[in-house]
Structure 1
């Protein structure tokens, strides 16, 4: 959980790129039809829905109050309230927060469940909120919204059943709701006078199913349940009897993971293989021509109004907009679904930035946060990226030991250096003239490569040549920085050393030792000093001339400092790490001036844009956050 004991200004969060597709039903259209609501880490984001096509400036608002990842969200039928539950650490209570949507502020905080809140649902008239605890809690609790307190609770399932994972409230009755999970499906009745909630198990005979999602018909006559076996179960609410499961011979691959009911009686189905389809009739047969496939398992289907337009979220963190009549779709939102390893701005340009992670490199527009280009390399992970000074060559470091170069405008491959490092390429830097690359590997070597423009049998061709391999590090090289005149570079390593290399004679000029695993290094503005940090949580200033430490600061109270960047003027720098905090420092005073709270994953990289307008930070949960940079006169 972030350490927030700082008497300093708060860094302003301007925009986020990210949608946590792993949260079931984690994408919701507000009843006003104008806003998306979705979680990103510990933050709940309210984003205005835009019907425009092409680049657009996202209008986002942020609800912050959770101390760890948000695990579930729900919106009341009237739209007045929004509820979110979180995950926490073993042995701790997991908070539920009810938000006042109009005021965008916390209405109340409810604390009772242990470790995790699995699901939430509001009663139709905003009287109650029902919550479901996770595997280590196993209870269902009904809360009074007016009194901001628990009314009653009960074990969510019988001891012989598995974990209960989903919940759905009646559309018309404040006293009836349904829960489902692994071999458990129950209809609950709330007895307010006796402060009790009573469950009736649905009689399913010999049928055993794991329920993933539940949707109630508008007249509360019966409800549908999506299962991991790919069928949909229908249950009569009054009799609590299983009616049928369908489609009988055409089950959905990898299970039914999301459902939504249309007023026409048709059912929108999302499946684990990315299928989005419509089924109807007593046997829930697929409607011909009403089926599409999206990237990733469907985790959310949310209607906008009557359902002529609806939105789909997937576990690959994609958001799609569907037109029901044509059953066509377009992707309107995306992000990295795994850890982001690096982020860079083009030299002298703040309008774009690039990120990399598992299987791809992405180019983003800074103002609108729209993805402009994606370069995919299947089954590989990109550890680091850099751009030549002219912006025409994108160099990337990969875990298969290759250095790959691309044209940034098209994403077409320019050249590849095979077997650049035998334990993966972990750091990369490009000389300002664009004809040399310095790379670092998992085995500890720092290698210098020349890029040679020539001609081959088919016309112009680019070749590369290894100039020198410098081997002094004993551990993985974590960062490389080259001076503006290209005469020397510094490399940091997990072996506790930082080495300054002469790029003309290819020998060591200076070495710095510390009892840490160095994670990041930056040159000062005049390149006579540098700052480092790592797992010892210390920020160290070094004199390059003699390798002496001239200052040591406490960079974090908990967790390593993984990322660092210095402003162009050199009077400020920013850091981020395992404490999940962005910190802005005065370089000369060595004091923290601003702290940014927003990440829920460990921060991996951070950059100040060349115009000193923004800070962009990335983390292990795939989130990309843009902050307003607090400029300061030198």
Structure 2
């Protein structure tokens, strides 16, 4: 039985690769100009710009949806989404202590946007579509002051909120057909809106900026234009719009001290334009839509986040974009480490395979196959190729240095390739499909040959393990079976069955046992020669076991699954020695490097985590 994770020693987290670029205005620069703040799943990362050191703010239970930083830098505020019927948390963090200052739960399901007042006195929060309310919080007392519906019933949904730059009692909200300036009446605990009458102009506003003297509101719209609104007591007057060169809408906007505007569009165009007439001064094209623009004081550059989960540093003078951080923007399906080395590892996801340095979060190579998902990958032992299985039913072989497509096996599995592994002699590939078939392929200098199709599984083949002598392999399937195959006679030898959907299987280095995990939340040891069960471990209190991997000496193994916890186990004792709690999504794959010094885990939120393995090999 696994011990309580609260009392178990914790794994040391060394690096997190990932950034949720889909969060609007999710990338922020702290006023100290030394740290970037951004979300990844339910974690908030504070990253030192110079040395790359990361701090992690853990407290949310589901994905973070918005981030705000107070003007003084004392506080960070974050909001999250939650399951239908549950409240979305708002957390105010003490930046210096990296600790929770206050937690509030008033909004239904989701927190859409947050903004601090100029003197850090108040925080305004906007609920999502199922909530539709605005709440003002007192930061010091940690209590809600008042709230109100964000928009009138005759208008649409509200998307964003922004506090005044000079007045703690004034803020602005905007959305579909609604633009309001709110006044806080503290003695009566009320917030009172003033509607902006836009007349015939019907716009959906996704982002807003307020001029430094609070005279104008700049509204970025989904139609690709910007409204400049004169903000005074009494009626509000529209001075725009002025359409600028943007398609897929204006998705991010920042006003500079010079009075010029930085504008990001949904198709990745970043523009510097004049706030007076919106004339384009400079522009640069980025990969995919811009979602965040982070500016810090008098710095010679600013930072931009995109939907592709990339962070760029852009210089004001030359307006050239330098890519400083990249990561997967969707679930990471698999991770592989080359045989005999502990310097590199590869991950796969929708559209691409990426090769990384293991000691620093730097992307070495990216292999892209548009509109396809790579479900599984492996390195051939000789290091000459990366083999990969894709959802279009094809097996693709790439050069690990050039990324060039070396060979392709068409129609390998009619419903998609779900698992793949290469033999030690590098002459054959064993693949598994969504339909349950197991195929053995012989690689030839310029072609390939299908050796055999072995059909015994009734559902998706989830994992493949091959013995060191290449004469036998084991496959796991969601039909509840693990089958041992003779790779010489090309027939099944034996089958083990359990009341579970197996997700993963792995040979012990001694090759006398296998361990397997699945939806029953258990890890099972099986005898290879007889197919008998040896031991069963309760590996998780909630959620399936999706991945296991054993060290080269066979003394320890690691597991991960839907409970988001990485666990290191003593193989003989069957007990947990260390746990890693940092993932925000279901863990999809885990691997221990050859020298047993580093552990890599990936998850469904696109994150790649590198841990210090607590039991390094003596060799």
Displacement after TM superposition at 1:509 (Å): 1.6
Q: Do structure 1's residue 408 and structure 2's residue 392 form an aligned pair?
A: no
Alpha carbons 1:171, 1:219 under 8 Å: kept: yes
How far apart are the structure 2 equivalents of 1:346 and 1:298?
35
Runs of 4+ displaced beyond 4 Å: 3-6
Checking the alignment, whether the CA contact within 8 Å between 2:428 and 2:441 is kept in structure 1 is yes
CA distance in 2, matches of 1:44, 1:511: 45
Residue of structure 2 equivalent to 1:58: 52
Query: Following superposition of structure 1 onto structure 2, how do residues 225-236 of structure 1 map, counting pairs within 5 Å?
Result: 225-236=219-230
Q: Which of 219, 236, 241 is matched with 1:241 structurally?
A: 236
Which of 175, 178, 201 does residue 181 from structure 1 map onto?
175
What does residue range 462-541 of structure 1 map to in structure 2 within 5 Å? 462-541=446-525
Number of the residue aligned with 1:356: 348
CA distance in structure 2 between the aligned counterparts of 1:252 and 1:330, rounded to whole angstroms: 21
Shift of 1:4: 8.0
Partner residue, 1:332: 324
- Does residue 292 (structure 1) correspond to residue 276 (structure 2)? The answer is no
1:262-301 paired onto structure 2 within 5 Å: 262-287=256-281, 290-301=282-293
Q: Distance in 2 between matches of 1:281 and 1:484?
A: 67
In 2, the alpha carbon distance for the partners of 1:160 and 1:556 equals 49
What is the rounded CA distance, in whole Å, between the counterparts of 1:251 and 1:334 in structure 2? 27
- Kindly provide the CA deviation profile for residues 83-140 of structure 1, in whole angstroms up to 9, marking residues without a partner as x: 1111112222222111111222222222222211111111111111111111122211
Equivalents in 1 of 2:30, 2:4: separation in Å? Answer: 32
Residue 93 of structure 2 aligns with which residue? 99
- Residue in structure 2 matching 1:309, options 282, 301, 304: 301
Aligned-residue offset at 1:452: 2.0
TM-score, structure 1 as length reference: 0.94
Q: Give secondary structure in 2 for the equivalent of 1:245.
A: coil
- Report the CA distance between 1:251 and its aligned residue: 4.9
Cα distance, 1:5 vs structure 2: 6.0
Q: Give 3-state SS (helix, strand or coil) of 1:304's partner.
A: coil
Cα deviation 1:504-563 (Å, max 9, x = unaligned): 221212211112211100111311111111122221111111111111122222221111
SS in 2 for 1:340: coil
Deviation at 1:281, TM superposition (A): 4.7
Structure 2 counterpart SS, 1:47: strand
Contact map agreement 2:67 2:113 (CA 8 A) in 1: yes
Alpha-carbon distance, 1:632 to partner: 7.2
Shift of residue 245, structure 1, vs aligned partner: 2.3
108-117 or 401-410: bigger deviation:
108-117
Aligned to 1:198: 192
Deviation at 1:569, TM superposition (A): 1.7
Provide the C-alpha distance between the structure 2 equivalents of 1:628 and 1:286, rounded to a whole number of angstroms. Answer: 49
Q: Which residue in the other structure is 1:565 paired with?
A: 549
Contact 2:229 2:240 in 1 (8 A): no
RMSD: 1.7
Counterpart in the other structure of 2:217: 223
TM-superposed deviation, 1:307 = 5.8
SS of 1:10 mapped into structure 2: coil
Render the CA deviation track for 1:52-93: whole Å, top value 9, x for unaligned.
xxxxx6311111111111111110111111111111122222
Q: Give structure 2 stretches of 5+ with no counterpart.
A: none
CA distance in 1, matches of 2:570, 2:521: 17
3-state SS in 2 of match to 1:200: strand
2:577 counterpart residue number: 593
Deviations 1:160-180 (A, max 9, x none): 222211111111111111011
